[in-house]
Chains A and B, each alone.
Chain A
Amino acid sequence: MSPANFCDWLSKTSFSIWLREAPYPFPVLLIIHLLTIAFFGGMVLLGDLRLLGRAMQDIPVSQVLGQFRPWKWTAFGILVVTGVLLSISDPVEYCGNIMFWISLLLLLLVGVNALAFRLGVYRSIAEWDQAEIAPPRARMAGRISLGLWILVVLAGRATAFF
């Protein structure tokens, strides 16, 4: 089954039709999706700014990142669930929307960057935990994360216009 066929089939399932046509599912899902970004996007922003030495410099990096982690994962879970359901509501539309695919690709890059950070420079966190300014590789990871998340939001917004 090609992706286009799959989207076509998915859009004809009764679940997809319900998500699309019932009055409440779509707005409620969208509200939860956006509220989650509003409440927890700040943790991403400030976590990255901590790595860059721009925010909360007197709090150890491991505290900021470690304490925000469970909240960020929870928020990420909510975003994935609501995001998938929103996509199922109109698969044909999203399947052909370039901005939708760009935002997914950017999310993948966010994951790659985070993984590289955790498996790389973060392993020597004990050496620079208290430092006001993190080592260059950690700062680069923060900068990339910040840039990618900004692009994810832009691409997500643009999805509505394409």
Chain B
Amino acid sequence: MIVLTLLQAVSGAIPKNPIARWEWVFPVVETLHIFGFTMLVGAVTILDLRLLGATLRRIPIPQLAKDLSPWIWAGIVVQFITGPYLFSGDPHEYIQIAAFRNKMLFLLLALIYHFTVIRKAVAAPADASAPLGWRRPAAFVSLGLWFCVLLSGMWIGNL
């Protein structure tokens, strides 16, 4: 597994970040992480529901995708700052938790899927009433992948 090897290399190379383990720093960063995923997954969910024809049916898909894009990116940025920061508190311990490794794998898959399949799905049609076709199953897969990311993420701390 490339992901695991990469994680092991990273965790071996960097020392524990003592500040991330300060009593009040962890919950604060963790809370920012919660707001980050609400932003990221929330915006992705709206887009997926549109692809399913379940919300904002009168709005053309490419227009909605363009509107949501900055918020998806904002979520990604927040997560890629807060996530590694939480990880830095004890990298070696994290990579030994199965839920953490699963999360990283699902996250990688979800991001790749979003920027390939979903990106293609939202590029058209310009006509809001055009049939959705393959976009529906594609959106289902996206929701499923993000569900796995969240679920394994929650499992890391044993809830």
Q: Which residues of A are in contact with B by a Cβ distance under 8 Å?
A: 27, 30-31, 34-35, 37-43, 45-46, 49, 55-59, 63-64, 67-68, 71, 150, 153-154, 157, 161
Contact = CB atoms under 8 A, between A and B. Distances in A.
Interface in B53-90: 54-59, 63-64, 67-68, 70-71
Given A38-B41, A45-B38, A59-B64, 20 more contacts: A34-B150, A34-B154, A35-B147, A35-B154, A37-B38, A40-B42, A41-B42, A42-B42, A45-B39, A45-B42, A56-B64, A56-B67, A56-B68, A63-B58, A67-B56, A71-B54, A153-B35, A153-B38, A154-B31, A157-B27
B59 A63 contact: yes
B45 interface: yes
What's the dominant secondary structure at chain B's contact region? Answer: helix
Contacts, number: 84
B150 A38 contact: yes
A74 to B, nearest CB: 11
A16 to B, nearest CB: 19
What are the nearest 4 A-B pairs in CB distance? A42-B42, A41-B38, A56-B67, A67-B56
A34 to B, nearest CB: 6
Contacts of B70: 55
Interface size classification for chain B: 20 to 34
Contact of A38 (B37, B54, B56, B59): B37
A35 B63 contact: no
B35 to A, nearest CB: 7
B132 interface: no
Contact of B59 (A27, A57, A59): A59
A68 B55 contact: yes
B34 A153 contact: yes
Contacts of A43: 42, 45-46
B42 A59 contact: no
19 contacts: A30-B159, A31-B154, A35-B151, A38-B37, A41-B42, A42-B42, A49-B71, A55-B68, A55-B70, A59-B56, A59-B64, A63-B56, A63-B58, A67-B57, A68-B46, A71-B49, A71-B54, A150-B35, A157-B27
Nearest to B38: A41
